[in-house]
């Protein structure tokens, strides 16, 4: 006798009928149906897959021989990054990750300058409790220097509980490692992270902020160099003449060599300019006087013209009044100055004539020297005229 269907009353007034059993399946029919499914799969396991279109069934990964492909944003446990080239860690111990960590499993100590005792942007110790970490990734998101990232390694099972308290030496990974597991995510922050790192390196004294395993290598290398410097150098052997080498092809200069060559050329030009000699195209005749000599000659000519005008005005004044006047002290000073300049010009001309005589090559005086000589002669003549006029005035007064 079939049981009546079970009815459920819903407050909204609808009724749902639930059929407890399937009257179409006889007793033992469910077992036979399940065995039919097993038989079908067992029979298909003997089928050969001669092409990709014939592949069938459920596919699995043969772990651990085959590893699953993990997405870049996968989060497991935090790690610290350091630069491959310099060895400096990106962490500056800003304590942002320690403050935001929900289970409070991050602990750090800021490094200090041993000379001054002041804190520096580097971490002395960094500890993470992996056994209590919840892999939330808050530390990686809040880090302003991109120093802490989430690793993809998930095989962390161990029977030693103390190993799950991980220190800085075990947390450090090179930047190249993270770039290999998350290339897109690292490319987005690479430029800003390395720029901030360079600013922090300048504030870190000695080897502070360098990964621990690299610090030991640096100390060993320094000791090796110190030992080499302290060791006595072997006696110098007489140098043998170098063997003639085969001609080699002209190699391309590096940027550093180009800069050195350009600096040498500029230094040679500066030395030539300092000596006041500029090589000509033929290489045997001296060049013309520099612009400074021309400027001095023009200035001397202007001063001589002004002095002549002043002298003419002075001579015209006594002629108008009919009274002779004696030369003023300014005129005497100008006369003495003109005589001194004439003597200097003569000395310079003599030195110029002596230089080609020593080399055996005749030279022509420069325009500046000729102009100075003429100017000195004119000034000497004017001074002589003034002195003659003064003497004539004294003679008339005496008579």
Question: pLDDT of 188-214, one tens digit each?
Answer: 999 999 999 999 999 999 899 999 988
Q: Which letter does DSSP use for residue 66 in this model?
A: S
pLDDT of residue 263: 65
- Is residue 318 classed exposed, middle or buried when 0-12, 13-18 and 19+ CB atoms within 10 A define those classes? middle
Handedness of CA 138, 141, 142, 145 (dihedral sign): positive
**pLDDT interval class at 44 (50, 70, 90):** confident
- pLDDT surpasses 60 at 322: no
How far apart CA 229 and CA 227 sit, in angstroms, is 5
How far apart CA 33 and CA 28 sit, in angstroms, is 9
Query: 367-378 pLDDT, tens per residue?
Result: 666 676 677 778
Q: Are 200 and 91 in contact (CB under 8 A)?
A: no
- pLDDT surpasses 60 at 149: yes
Count of residues making up the chain: 399
Which residue shows structure tokens 């310099």?
Answer: 86
Provide mean pLDDT across the span 13-23: 64
Distances (CA, A) of 171 to 19, 71, 106, 114, 319: 60, 21, 12, 25, 108
Min mean pLDDT across 106-120, 135-149, 279-293, 341-355 is at 279-293
pLDDT of residue 63: 86
**pLDDT interval class at 107 (50, 70, 90):** very high
Helix ranges, 202-254 (H): 212-230
pLDDT of residue 287: 44
Provide mean pLDDT across the span 152-180: 95
What is the three-class DSSP state of 286?
A: coil
β-strands 119-129, 106-112 pairing = antiparallel
How far apart CA 178 and CA 171 sit, in angstroms, is 12
> Rg (Cα) of the chain, in Å, rounded?
51
Q: Please give the mean pLDDT across all residues of the chain.
A: 77
What is the three-class DSSP state of 91?
A: coil
Q: Are 138 and 233 in contact (CB under 8 A)?
A: no
Q: Of the candidates 139, 165, 164, which has an alpha carbon nearest to the alpha carbon of residue 81?
A: 139
Q: Are 36 and 43 in contact (CB under 8 A)?
A: no
pTM exceeds cut of 0.75? no
Min mean pLDDT across 40-54, 138-152, 329-343 is at 329-343
Any bridge partners for residue 17, and if so which? 7
pLDDT of residue 75: 95
More confident residue, 163 or 218: 163
pLDDT of residue 93: 95
Residue 15 has φ and ψ, to the nearest 5°, of -125, 130
How far apart CA 368 and CA 373 sit, in angstroms, is 9
Query: 244-264 pLDDT, tens per residue?
Result: 554 444 566 666 566 667 667
Strands (E), 189-254: none
Distances (CA, A) of 176 to 80, 82, 124, 221: 12, 9, 23, 24
């Amino acid at each position: 006798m079939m049981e009546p269907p079970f009815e459920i009353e819903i407050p909204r007034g609808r009724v749902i009928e639930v059929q407890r059993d399937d009257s179409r399946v006889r007793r033992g029919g469910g077992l036979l149906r399940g065995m039919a499914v097993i038989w079908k799969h067992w029979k298909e396991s003997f089928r050969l897959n001669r092409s990709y279109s014939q592949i069938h069934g459920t596919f699995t990964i043969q772990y651990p021989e085959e590893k699953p492909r993990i997405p870049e944003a996968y989060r497991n446990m935090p790690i610290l990054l350091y630069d491959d080239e310099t060895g400096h860690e990106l962490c500056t111990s800003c304590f942002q990750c320690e403050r935001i960590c929900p289970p409070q499993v991050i602990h750090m100590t800021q490094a200090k300058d041993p000379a001054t005792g002041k804190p520096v942007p580097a971490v002395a110790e960094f500890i993470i409790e992996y056994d209590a970490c919840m892999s939330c990734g808050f530390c990686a998101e809040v880090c302003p220097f991109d120093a802490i990232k989430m690793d993809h390694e998930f095989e962390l099972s161990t029977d030693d509980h103390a190993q799950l308290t991980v220190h800085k030496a075990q947390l450090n990974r090179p930047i190249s490692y993270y770039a290999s597991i998350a290339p897109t995510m690292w490319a987005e922050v690479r430029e800003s992270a390395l720029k901030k790192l360079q600013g922090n390196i300048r504030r870190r004294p000695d080897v502070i902020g360098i990964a621990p395993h690299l610090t030991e290598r640096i100390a060993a290398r320094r000791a090796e160099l110190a030992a080499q410097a302290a060791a006595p150098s072997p006696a110098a052997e007489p140098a043998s003449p170098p063997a003639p080498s085969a001609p080699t092809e002209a190699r391309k200069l590096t940027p550093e060599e180009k800069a050195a060559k350009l600096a040498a050329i500029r230094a040679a030009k500066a030395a030539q300019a300092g000596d006041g000699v500029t090589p000509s195209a033929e290489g045997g005749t001296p060049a013309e006087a520099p612009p400074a000599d021309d400027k001095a000659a023009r200035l001397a000519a202007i001063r001589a013209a002004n002095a002549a005008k002043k002298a003419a005005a002075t001579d015209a004044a006594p002629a108008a009044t009919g009274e002779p006047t004696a030369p003023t002290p300014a005129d005497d000073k100008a006369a003495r100055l003109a005589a001194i300049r004439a003597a200097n010009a003569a000395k310079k001309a003599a030195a110029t004539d002596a230089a080609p005589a020593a080399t055996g090559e005749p030279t022509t005086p420069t325009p500046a020297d000729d102009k100075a000589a003429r100017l000195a002669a004119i000034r000497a003549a004017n001074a002589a005229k003034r002195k003659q006029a003064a003497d004539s005035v004294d003679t008339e007064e005496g008579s």
